[in-house]
Amino acid sequence: MSELKINPNRRFLREEKLPHFFCSGCGCGQVLNCFTQALDALDMDTKDMVTIGGVGCTARIPVYLTSDTFHGVHGRTLAWATGVKLTKPEIPIVIFAGDGDLASIGGNHFIHAARRNLDVTVIMVNNLNFAMTGGQVAPTTPEDARTMTTPYGSAEPRFDVCELAMAAGATHVERWTTAQPVQCTAAIKRALQHKGFSLIEIVSQCPTHFGRYALRTGDPLKLIDWIKEYTYTEADEKKKTPDELVGKLKCAEFKRENKPTYAGTNNQI
Ligand SMILES: Cc1ncc(C[n+]2csc(CCOP(=O)(O)OP(=O)(O)O)c2C)c(N)n1
């Protein structure tokens, strides 16, 4: 019998916190996996970094990492990150935030941290709803989608969080999905190497809430198929008409540029 192989990247995990609390089929585990693969590829160690989560399913990801970890209040990750960065500018900081955490309650911290080009990596898991509290509508919920609080479909226009970040001044912005793990890992690697504000948005499945309310299915594979339809790449763009892309999210490396950072390693303040 072949020997059971244990993923060597488990060395980054806080074993005493396992088993994890994510629902079965949730994308947060995939994001955690991509993150540990990026660390391994760059020869970085969780022990040399600070990871921060606010509140929510996504915000639980840092709890499973053997870094110095801060798990606190919904929407305030960037306020803490600013404090840590001002005190210890040389330490890499990685934030795991839900779309609600970053774009709703934490929206103000988000735009100003991007404007200042705070030297942090923000990994936003966009599951298109407030998952931990039961599937309420979020600023990222697609128009017309049913959620727990919009049983007749959301009447609100949706935020494109990558556009928002770029308009505010973020210097590295990418969007991918859990259906593209290779691209997610590569994007996280670029973010960890970037000096300045990086936003990596990962569109992800929430079978328990978004799936149940919006798509009437809790099957993660059907959700991933739906995410593939809801998003498109530069290659898809060439094959489709503009009408076919209306309401969909583009996946790409949108922006990467060098600018002075706020209290980063090329400290400008
Ligand atoms: C200050 C504050 N407001 C509201 C809440 C309630 N709350 C906890 S988790 C959550 C939603 C989380 O959604 P999101 O940030 O998108 O993360 P997800 O669970 O979807 O990963 C809310 C509203 C809270 N814990 N603290």
pLDDT for res 44:
96
For residue 266, the model assigns a pLDDT of 52
Count other C-beta atoms under 10 Å from residue 160's C-beta.
Answer: 16
Backbone angles phi, psi at 64, to 5 degrees: -90, 5
Which residue's alpha carbon is nearest to atom 5 within ligand 1?
A: 74
Distance of CA 10 to the CA centre of its chain: 20
Asked whether 55 lines ligand 1 (CB < 6 A), one says: yes
CB distance 57 to ligand 1 below 6 Å: yes
Distance CA(72)–CA(105), nearest Å, equals 14
Query: In this structure, how many other beta carbons lie within 10 angstroms of the beta carbon of residue 99?
Result: 27
Parallel/antiparallel/unpaired status of strands 50-53 and 172-177: unpaired
For atom 11 of ligand 1, the residue with the nearest CA is: 130
What is the distance, to the nearest Å, from the Cα of residue 36 to the centroid of all Cα atoms in its chain? Answer: 14
Evaluate whether 79 touches 110 at the Cβ level (below 8 Å).
no
Instruction: Return the pLDDT at 175.
Output: 98
- Å from CA of 245 to ligand 1 middle: 30
Q: What is the pLDDT of residue 269?
A: 37
Written as six digits, the tokens of 176 are 């991918």
Please report the pLDDT score of residue 72 as a whole number: 85
The tens-digit pLDDT sequence of the chain (269 residues) is 556 677 889 999 999 999 999 999 999 999 999 999 999 999 999 999 999 999 999 999 999 999 999 998 999 999 999 999 999 999 999 999 999 999 999 999 999 999 999 999 999 999 999 999 999 999 999 999 999 999 999 999 999 999 999 999 999 999 999 999 999 999 999 999 999 999 999 999 999 999 999 999 999 999 999 999 999 999 999 999 999 999 999 999 999 999 999 975 554 43
Which residues neighbour 238 within 8 Å (Cβ) at sequence distance 6 or greater? none
Sequence length of the chain is 269
For ligand 1, whether the C-beta of 50 sits within 6 Å is no
List the structure tokens of 256.
């990467």
The ligand 1 atom nearest the CA atom of 54: 15
Q: Select from 118, 103, 121 the least CA-distant residue to 38.
A: 121
| Residues 142, 155 contacting (CB under 8 angstroms) | no
- Residue 241 has which token pair? 């008409």
Residue 119 alpha carbon to ligand 1 centre in Å: 25
pLDDT for 267:
44
Instruction: Check: pTM over 0.85? Answer yes or no.
Output: yes
Domain ranges of the chain: 28-256
98 lines ligand 1 (CB under 6 A): yes
Per-residue pLDDT at 8: 84
Question: H helices within the chain, ranges in order?
Answer: 28-42, 77-87, 99-100, 107-116, 161-168, 181-193, 220-230, 234-239, 242-245
Distances (CA, A) of 126 to 161, 200, 235: 9, 10, 22
- The fourth-level CATH superfamily of domain 28-256 is Thiamin diphosphate (ThDP)-binding fold, Pyr/PP domains (3.40.50.970)
